[in-house]
Chains A and B, each alone.
Chain A
Amino acid sequence: MSHSAECPECAAKVTLPDDAVVGEIVQCAECGVELEAVSQDPWKFARAPEEEEDWGE
């Protein structure tokens, strides 16, 4: 059975694979953010760390 939870950035429904585990990294299809599954029952996501662009500083 697939699992899903809300994207913390854009509130879209994000689906996890059947065999997902805590720590799984998935991408939100709508806003593109990389998410880490931080807990289950219920599943919750946090934004995974990414490198930022830095122009002109």
Chain B
Amino acid sequence: MSETIEVSVVGGSGYVGGELLRLLLFHPQVSVRQVTSARLSGRFVYTAHPTLRGTTSLQFTHPDALDRADVLFLALPHGEAAKAIDMFADKAERIIDCSADFRLRDTESYEQWYGTPHPAPEWLSRFVYGLPERNRAAIADSRFVSGVGCNATVTTLALAPLVDGGLLDHAVADVKVGSSEAGAKASPSSHHPERSGSVRSFKPTGHRHQAEVVQELGRGFRLDFSVTSVELVRGALVTAHCFLKESTSERDLWTLYRKHYAHEPFVRLVSGKSGIHRYPEPKLLAGSNYCDIGFATDELSTANRVVTIAAIDNLMKGAAGTAVQCMNIMLGFDETSGLGFPGLHPI
């Protein structure tokens, strides 16, 4: 498809909104019509997103003045999209919601993990979970696509070949995450003297993204899931201790992962035997849409332990990048369009 489409970003003053703009303003088949923010209405977008200075004359629009567009990206705080989804659906043929509101498929699961009844339960079945590596065909056919949880994305992609291959008995996954996962609003835990230099066990059990991993990979294995906040701004790295049903060599893992991700444009296998960066490193992925995945077998284990390691930029593959990838799929564009940046080194 070679046409140019008009998109708007609703709730564009946060970090995900900023990343969406950085991608969409340079996308060859996209024109950004509006970016909304109640707080910054009338201000130039570089007020919130300083790297966009000189690249666009866009100003934030008040949400009440939202016009029709071909695609709406919703980058609102969790809970806000669901409350107004009927109104948004009248404004655009297609919606990509980056919040957690429409990620889970059933109301029971939503209530269990989010602690309140879903505000628009009739909409859950209309949304497709927006992870192309799991749901590409459904995304292509859908008008409504959800965002993905960053910690869920990195874990799902790390484990998927083992689960789909019927090899995984159980996994203990610890995700180390950067501070940008907490969003652009300050909180006591983001205060510099508290945050700087910390390795904080943010959610040792009960993290909501666990529900997304189970939804996408099924219940054929047991998952234990912890999240630790570390000294990064961007990035998520999962170290998953995977206990397999049978002994598997590293060569076999290479073959399995290579086959599983052979046609995925944003998954790279990084399980090196030489050099400094032998395994996935989130720092190198800042600004890129790649998910790097590696693995190592434990030759001494009596429980068939394999450690899988995966890294992403949480704001990109874990949010805005995947959302734009979904837009490309929904519109029939080249899936990689606007997403070619490979990251920086050194950084």
- By a beta-carbon cutoff of 8 Å, the part of chain A in contact with chain B is 8-12, 27-28, 30-34, 47, 50
Contacts and interface: CB of A to CB of B under 8 A. Distances in A.
B191 interface: no
30 contacts: A8-B251, A9-B250, A9-B251, A9-B254, A9-B273, A10-B251, A10-B254, A10-B258, A10-B271, A11-B251, A11-B254, A12-B254, A12-B258, A27-B274, A28-B273, A30-B254, A30-B258, A31-B254, A31-B271, A32-B272, A32-B273, A32-B274, A32-B275, A33-B272, A33-B273, A33-B274, A34-B274, A47-B273, A50-B273, A50-B274
A46 B255 CA distance: 19
A31 B255 contact: no
B39 interface: no
A8 to B, nearest CB: 8
A22 to B, nearest CB: 21
A23 B274 CA distance: 19
Interface of B: 250-251, 254-255, 258, 269, 271-275, 278
List 10 tightest A-B contacts by C-beta distance, closest first.
Answer: A33-B273, A10-B254, A32-B272, A11-B251, A32-B274, A31-B273, A11-B255, A11-B254, A32-B273, A50-B274
B258 to A, nearest CB: 8
Contacts of A30: 254, 258, 269
B91 to A, nearest CB: 46
A9 B275 CA distance: 15
Contacts of B278: 32
Residue among A9, A10, A27, A47 facing the most chain B CB atoms (10 A cut-off): A10
A11 B310 CA distance: 21
A55 B257 CA distance: 29
A47 B251 CA distance: 14
A28 B273 CA distance: 9
Given A10-B254, A27-B274, 20 more contacts: A9-B250, A9-B251, A9-B254, A10-B250, A10-B258, A10-B271, A11-B254, A11-B255, A12-B254, A12-B258, A28-B273, A30-B254, A31-B271, A31-B272, A32-B273, A32-B274, A32-B278, A33-B273, A34-B274, A50-B274
A9 B278 CA distance: 14
A37 to B, nearest CB: 17
A20 to B, nearest CB: 20
Contacts of A27: 274
A32 B278 CA distance: 8
Contacts of B274: 27, 32-34, 50
Contacts of B258: 10, 12, 30
A10 to B, nearest CB: 4
Residue among B250, B273, B275 facing the most chain A CB atoms (10 A cut-off): B273
Nearest to B277: A32
B280 to A, nearest CB: 13
A32 B292 CA distance: 15
A11 to B, nearest CB: 5
